[in-house]
Amino acid sequence: MLLLVPFVLFAATVGAAVPSTQGFDESTIAKVRANMINISTHSWELGAMAQALTELEVPSLSVFSNNKLPPPQSLSAQVRAEAVDVFNLATRIVREKPANSSVLIDGDGAAGDPASLGVAVALTGWTRENRSDSSFDVAAQEQLDHLLNDVPRDANGAISQREDQVQLWADYVFMAPPFIAYEGALKTGDEQLELLREAYDQCRDYREVLSDDSGLWKHILLGTGIQDLTHWGTGNAWAAAGMLRVLETITHSDAAWAFEQETRNLTSWVTDIVSATWHHQGRNGTLFNVIDDPTTFADSSSTALLAASTYRLATITNDFTWIGFADKALQLIKNSIDKDGWLLNTVDPETFNTPSLPGAHSPEGQTFVILLHTAQQDFLEHIGL
């Protein structure tokens, strides 16, 4: 149920006043959701959509809930009904997967993107009613094995975003490490520790290559062909959001005790991105396509996901330093959604450096609105509003 909250001031535990803005109304979210489902087709779009549907419709199974991982294998009728969209998507992916394919879905040459569906597939397999149906477990394990054993790696251990060469994209951090971590949370013993460690290591190794003294991440480095040395807004948003999912998966796992320093590091690395980002916020609340280059166009997609990451980070840390910036960004996003539920003023997610054409819409932009909505709602619940 959507909370409609008036503008208030809340005294944070760190002593700062936290402004809170009214969130999205139910009608808008319903339209945004429908549009997201209708236009999401690529592997990474479907994977991000699965995460958004989990947070929106069955939050008790989200890694951002306060529930321990792994989740119960036997779900109540109510939770199973809430999860139907996620389970149906995962079922379609597994049923359509070619028998000779080791990846969940064609990634158009990307190694990380198909893995973005891995959490939904693994969750569906873990909680399936028909315990004799191992197809979900097998598909998830094949995807995991492919990532860990078949995809080329950089010298520092970072698994490539591309299948045919070693090339690192900030996007990858949202796509693959959360899946590796989730598979770890479902395992026991040494296998659990190894997978959780691998997920953390991937975040660390990507940061080692892509981050710089600004606190922001470059978008694409290494390999041949396309390169992007800019601090692309959506790339930084993918990285922050992905590290948060890894952080929360580790935190809620049975092995959290073994990763105290690693969880501190992940928290610090997300904070680096968030704190560096909001210094460049436009007066109306927007972020620019290249975060630290105001000569680039305003981009609502990255603004939405970085605001979502800011709410998530504050909920985890109780440090509300950047909430005012996220609130301002949320208001900008609300003003950027038209009457039909389309997010306007997005970057074209396939070119990185041009706005979406008139009449065209960004599938991931729609998803980011849902992720912003759920993150803000969880933050408000966390502070008692």
* pLDDT at residue 81, as a whole number: 98
Q: Rounded CA gap, 168 and 109, in Å?
A: 13
pLDDT at residue 7 greater than cutoff 50: no
* pLDDT at residue 11, as a whole number: 32
118-126 vs 135-149: helix axis angle to the nearest 10? 140
Strand partners, 169: 220
Buried b (16+ CB within 10 A) or exposed e, 332-369: bbbebbeeebbbbbbbbbeebeebbeeeebbbbbbbbb
Q: Rounded CA gap, 248 and 203, in Å?
A: 14
pLDDT at residue 2 greater than cutoff 60: no
Q: What is the mean pLDDT of the chain?
A: 94
For 249-254, what is the mean pLDDT? 98
* pLDDT at residue 59, as a whole number: 98
pLDDT band of 19, cuts 50, 70, 90? low
pLDDT at residue 104 greater than cutoff 60: yes
Q: Rounded CA gap, 69 and 199, in Å?
A: 16
Q: Which two tokens stand for residue 19?
A: 């402004």
pTM for the whole structure:
0.95
pLDDT at residue 109 greater than cutoff 70: yes
For 287-293, what is the mean pLDDT? 98
